[in-house]
Structure 1
Amino acid sequence: MALAPVAGRAQAVTVHGFVSRFSALVQQNGPAVVNISLVPKEQVANAESLWPPGASEHDPFLQFLRQFSPNPLPDAGATQSNVGSGFIVRPNGYILTDARLVADAKDIKVRLTDRREFKASVVGIDQPGGIALLKIDANGLPTVKIGKPSDMKSGQWVVAIGAPYGFENTVTAGIVSNTARLLPQETYIPLIQTDMTATTGDEGTPLFNLNGEAIGITLVAPPPEGAFEGISFAIPINAAMRIEQQLQLHGRAEHGHLGVTIQDVTWPLAQSFRLRKPVGALISSMDRNGPAARSGLQSGDIILQLNGTNINDSFQLPAAVADLHPGTSAHIQYWRDHGPHDAVVVLGRSTTLASASVDAAMSGKLGLMVRRLTSDEKHRAEVSGGVRVEQSAGPAALAGILPGDIALQVNHAPVSNPAQFRQRMSGARNTVALLVLHDRQKMFVPLDLG
């Protein structure tokens, strides 16, 4: 009978301790989080109020909020890019934030939690990494403690302190959903995904673990409406700080460049390439004049190692290459013709980085009808061979192959006419890898012939 109250007290202590950790975290790090407001180079006219959504100047609810709010509401003329967040990483006034927030800014103002305001200068912006470094004329400022994102696991709690809609020092909490989510259209860096919703003003918000250490910087991606509802992404702080060091020293960050577009190796693709398991990064297309091409690498090669480090999936390669300086000699092991080979690539310099990750659906019979390309079609597609897909059904359609796509290779052998295409297909084993040109992007698509 005495156990029930004891259990109740133990539970209460646990909850109290958990809440205390949140409070201590905010008290410790809140002063290092700043509110960033800016004037874009091209001011947008007739913009709607940010809050309340769709409110007019004569709305009584808006007037009520303005009368009793301790801080002024965001300006009704502000655009979505007018407000954001950042955090102090050096006590002499260096501030990290989202590159997109300040990329087109004319004037930038930073407001501290003690109400002091400073005009900020841009030290440097690294668009490929999504990081910007600002500087204000101040010393002895509080800073965040830098943590290790690699220690985070899915399901762990995280806390963000930001300024959604301009409301500074707003605290939100959630859990880590994934520790390495790649958004090639945003950055080459695998991102931390959480179940918190990032919105206007959250750009540059720091993400903390429960030890009070900054582990990421929030990136607000502009996807098609509703695509990322209820989730947010953060650039791992270790990657951000590597970029910060380059920006502070040189005003810009330089990234190594291979000149390839890659995709993940699925089990069906691994079988078609006769790999024992799906590893590495598959080169789906490449710059003909790029560093990789000059070193003899080809479309269809699978990069297995970079400087002795195994490339287990396509997520690893872009970040590993980007962390190397242009001019570096990179030792690459790759898979071609059912065996490993080696190459040395002298990396180029890149201002934009991208990788393509493709997950294709596979099934039984092929379901394709193809025809010969006309000279005009070859010229417009900038190809010398291939066949045009006229109809796609069944497994081919499920795999994402559409009418108008151009099939360039069957199991790494080029095709130039329908007869050759049929011949290559008839000689294929259970799984075939098609190199397809879709919307000017090349990708390997695996098909199971059954």
Structure 2
Amino acid sequence: MTRPIQWALLGLILFAFSLPVSARMLPDFVPLAEEHSPAVVNISTTREREGGQTGGHPDFEGSPFEDLFERFFGAPPGGGRGEGGEGRMPERSSLGSGFIYTEDGYIITANHVVEGASEVVVHLSDRRVFDAEVIGKDPQSDVALLKIDADDLPTLELGSSDELKVGEWVLAIGSPFGFDHSVTAGIVSAKGRNLPTENYVPFIQTDVAINPGNSGGPLLNLDGKVVGINAQIYSRTGGFMGLSFAVPIEMVEDVVMQLREHGEVTRGWLGVLIQEVTRDLADSFGMDKPAGALVARVQSDSPAEKAGFETGDVILRFNGIDVPNSSALPPIVGRTPVGTEAEVEIRRGEETKTITVEIERLPDDVAAERGGRQPEQEERAEPQSLLGMHLEPLDAAQAEELGLDGGLVVTEVTGNPARSSGIRPGDVIVQFGRHSVDSLEELEEQIEDAGTGRTVPVLIQRDGNPTFIALRIPSE
């Protein structure tokens, strides 16, 4: 090799290493977009709206972007109201995304894209338009399956969200604000995210730019395989703020299979209300570190009650699968086939034990039991002060209304440790440690038995919901 060529090669190597890391490592998204965009579809729906409701796309009704939607797609005559400004509103169009699952026309999208629609129309990348049949919907996972009458369609291959790594590049294709086949990219920010309004979906969190109209579209890895469907954003403005959430494709695939075969989705049901194990609660239970799902209530006539679960149990493993936190348990149970006998490892007091439970079908109308407002009493006993709070016994009428066997009502929080533990007036103390609380005398004895300087798990009922808190008994 001649000296000029050697110097030239050396110069190229030095130039390559002088580039920023981001320039050397950034993937090429062009082949992904060109190859997989044809299998992504635009979905438009038509809904009838009652008077007084806002129109447009369900993702941004009432948001700052509603006016933008009106500019692009037009407002209904008369400012959006029917004759006389009242009654049933004219039908309105909304937009979403989806992708072709099979060559013969099955299409996956988000449930909220087609929920309540009187008409669903699918627009393909080659400009063909089809009326779609809704095969099935599952609101709990926000997945819907459509069918159009077509053959030899381009499809997307399903990948694995389980194999996704935080920091991995992902790509979204969809129709934000009706701009079809828009491509955005980002990274996986987190996995297994539990959102306040969702119980059964361990969302994939990304920083991919997702906006109204992207819902139902695919989230692709760098191999071009679908790892999730874009479902939600977290926003204080109505637009993208760097927090997007996708339904993992393993859950999507399970839901789609059930919708194709049965037209509905069945889920496993354990029958417990759970909460997170905080560091203080872990200390109160004698655990080395926070882990598992803490049982705050065992629902009546549930599989858990039949199997012998108790309030205060901490679920650590379910059928051999670790339960690192409370949000991990519902999806695990939900995927368990109905009728399966599951081995559940729990911590109860100082012991670890295994309970066998037969999983039943999740009832359609499962809802949290909520207590009503406490009735005013003409005569009340003088409240007594313990651990920085005034307490009085729960009378029979209050107990019946709240669905409790007994307890003590917190009438006032006067100091610590109650205040620092988060106890509020109106809370009902139901259990102290692993013992029920039926009278002030019992609670005093339980406090004395617990000893000073210890952290004790205390079960309270607040607004009808059971919650454990960690309360530290002061040292004398």
Task: Specify the alignment match of 1:29 in structure 2.
Answer: 36
Superposition TM-score, scaled by structure 1 size: 0.85
In structure 1, give the amino acid aligned to 2:223.
N
Query: For the structure 1 residues 13 and 379, does the alpha-carbon distance in structure 2 shift closer, same or farther, using more than 3 Å as the test?
Result: closer
Render the CA deviation track for 1:230-273: whole Å, top value 9, x for unaligned: 31111111111111111111111111101111122223222222
Task: Specify the alignment match of 1:70 in structure 2.
Answer: none
Once the two structures are TM-superposed, the CA of residue 286 in structure 1 deviates from its matched residue by 2.3
Q: Which moved more, 1:41-50 or 1:150-159?
A: 41-50
In structure 2, give the amino acid aligned to 1:234.
A
Once the two structures are TM-superposed, the CA of residue 427 in structure 1 deviates from its matched residue by 2.8
Render the CA deviation track for 1:261-299: whole Å, top value 9, x for unaligned: 112222322222223333322111121111111111111
Task: Specify the alignment match of 2:122 in structure 1.
Answer: 110
SS at match of 2:447: helix
SS at match of 1:145: coil
**What root-mean-square deviation, in Å, do the aligned CA atoms of Structure 1 and Structure 2 show?**
3.2
Render the CA deviation track for 1:47-100: whole Å, top value 9, x for unaligned: 46779753698xxxx5xxxxxxxxxx3343499982111111211111111122
- Equivalent of residue 261 in structure 2, options 249, 263, 273: 249
Q: Comparing both chains, which one has the higher relative contact order based on Cα–Cα distances under 8 Å and sequence gaps of 6 or more?
A: 1
Distance in 2, Cα, partners of 1:55 & 1:152:
35
- Equivalent of residue 212 in structure 2, options 200, 204, 212: 200
Once the two structures are TM-superposed, the CA of residue 110 in structure 1 deviates from its matched residue by 0.8
Question: Is 1:410 the counterpart of 2:452 in the alignment?
Answer: no
Runs of 5+ consecutive residues of structure 2 not aligned to the other structure:
1-6, 58-63, 81-90, 369-385
Query: For the structure 1 residues 368 and 345, does the alpha-carbon distance in structure 2 shift closer, same or farther, using more than 3 Å as the test?
Result: same
Question: Is 1:448 the counterpart of 2:472 in the alignment?
Answer: yes
Q: Which moved more, 1:338-347 or 1:379-388?
A: 338-347
Distance in 1, Cα, partners of 2:392 & 2:276:
29
- Equivalences for 1:88-107 in 2 at 5 Å? 88-107=100-119
Query: For the structure 1 residues 221 and 382, does the alpha-carbon distance in structure 2 shift closer, same or farther, using more than 3 Å as the test?
Result: farther
SS at match of 1:31: helix
Runs of 5+ consecutive residues of structure 1 not aligned to the other structure:
63-72, 356-364
Query: For the structure 1 residues 375 and 22, does the alpha-carbon distance in structure 2 shift closer, same or farther, using more than 3 Å as the test?
Result: same
- Are the counterparts in 2 of residues 318 and 353 from structure 1 also a CA contact under 8 Å? no
Task: Specify the alignment match of 2:309 in structure 1.
Answer: 297
Once the two structures are TM-superposed, the CA of residue 309 in structure 1 deviates from its matched residue by 2.9
Q: Which moved more, 1:344-353 or 1:152-161?
A: 344-353
- Equivalent of residue 457 in structure 2, options 399, 410, 433: 433
- Equivalences for 1:27-426 in 2 at 5 Å? 27-42=34-49, 47=54, 54=67, 73-77=72-76, 82-220=94-232, 229-350=241-362, 351=364, 367-392=388-413, 393-394=415-416, 396-426=418-448
Query: For the structure 1 residues 154 and 308, does the alpha-carbon distance in structure 2 shift closer, same or farther, using more than 3 Å as the test?
Result: closer
Q: Which moved more, 1:249-258 or 1:273-282?
A: 273-282
Superposition TM-score, scaled by structure 2 size: 0.80
In structure 1, give the amino acid aligned to 2:40.
V
- Are the counterparts in 1 of residues 135 and 147 from structure 2 also a CA contact under 8 Å? yes
Render the CA deviation track for 1:183-212: whole Å, top value 9, x for unaligned: 252241211111245432122121112222
Once the two structures are TM-superposed, the CA of residue 417 in structure 1 deviates from its matched residue by 2.4
- Are the counterparts in 1 of residues 157 and 226 from structure 2 also a CA contact under 8 Å? yes
Q: Which moved more, 1:4-13 or 1:236-245?
A: 4-13
Q: Which moved more, 1:273-282 or 1:240-249?
A: 273-282
Once the two structures are TM-superposed, the CA of residue 29 in structure 1 deviates from its matched residue by 1.4
Identity %: 36
Distance in 2, Cα, partners of 1:423 & 1:287:
29
Once the two structures are TM-superposed, the CA of residue 103 in structure 1 deviates from its matched residue by 2.3
Once the two structures are TM-superposed, the CA of residue 428 in structure 1 deviates from its matched residue by 2.5
Query: For the structure 1 residues 52 and 187, does the alpha-carbon distance in structure 2 shift closer, same or farther, using more than 3 Å as the test?
Result: closer
Distance in 1, Cα, partners of 2:330 & 2:315:
11
Distance in 1, Cα, partners of 2:404 & 2:226:
48
Pair member with larger Rg = 2
- Are the counterparts in 2 of residues 188 and 353 from structure 1 also a CA contact under 8 Å? no
- Are the counterparts in 2 of residues 164 and 200 from structure 1 also a CA contact under 8 Å? yes
In structure 2, give the amino acid aligned to 1:446.
A
- Are the counterparts in 1 of residues 49 and 55 from structure 2 also a CA contact under 8 Å? no
In structure 2, give the amino acid aligned to 1:310.
D
Query: For the structure 1 residues 211 and 26, does the alpha-carbon distance in structure 2 shift closer, same or farther, using more than 3 Å as the test?
Result: same
Distance in 2, Cα, partners of 1:140 & 1:152:
30
- Are the counterparts in 1 of residues 205 and 244 from structure 2 also a CA contact under 8 Å? yes
Query: For the structure 1 residues 345 and 422, does the alpha-carbon distance in structure 2 shift closer, same or farther, using more than 3 Å as the test?
Result: same
Once the two structures are TM-superposed, the CA of residue 45 in structure 1 deviates from its matched residue by 6.6
Render the CA deviation track for 1:407-439: whole Å, top value 9, x for unaligned: 111112111223322332333352111111112
Aligned length: 427
Task: Specify the alignment match of 1:360 in structure 2.
Answer: none
Distance in 2, Cα, partners of 1:166 & 1:120:
18
In structure 2, give the amino acid aligned to 1:378.
A
Render the CA deviation track for 1:97-116: whole Å, top value 9, x for unaligned: 11222221111111111111
Q: Which moved more, 1:393-402 or 1:86-95?
A: 393-402
Distance in 1, Cα, partners of 2:107 & 2:366:
24
Distance in 2, Cα, partners of 1:44 & 1:116:
34
In structure 1, give the amino acid aligned to 2:151.
N
- Are the counterparts in 1 of residues 234 and 241 from structure 2 also a CA contact under 8 Å? no
Distance in 2, Cα, partners of 1:401 & 1:241:
43
Once the two structures are TM-superposed, the CA of residue 329 in structure 1 deviates from its matched residue by 1.8
- Are the counterparts in 2 of residues 259 and 292 from structure 1 also a CA contact under 8 Å? yes
SS at match of 2:118: strand
Query: For the structure 1 residues 176 and 187, does the alpha-carbon distance in structure 2 shift closer, same or farther, using more than 3 Å as the test?
Result: same
SS at match of 2:131: strand
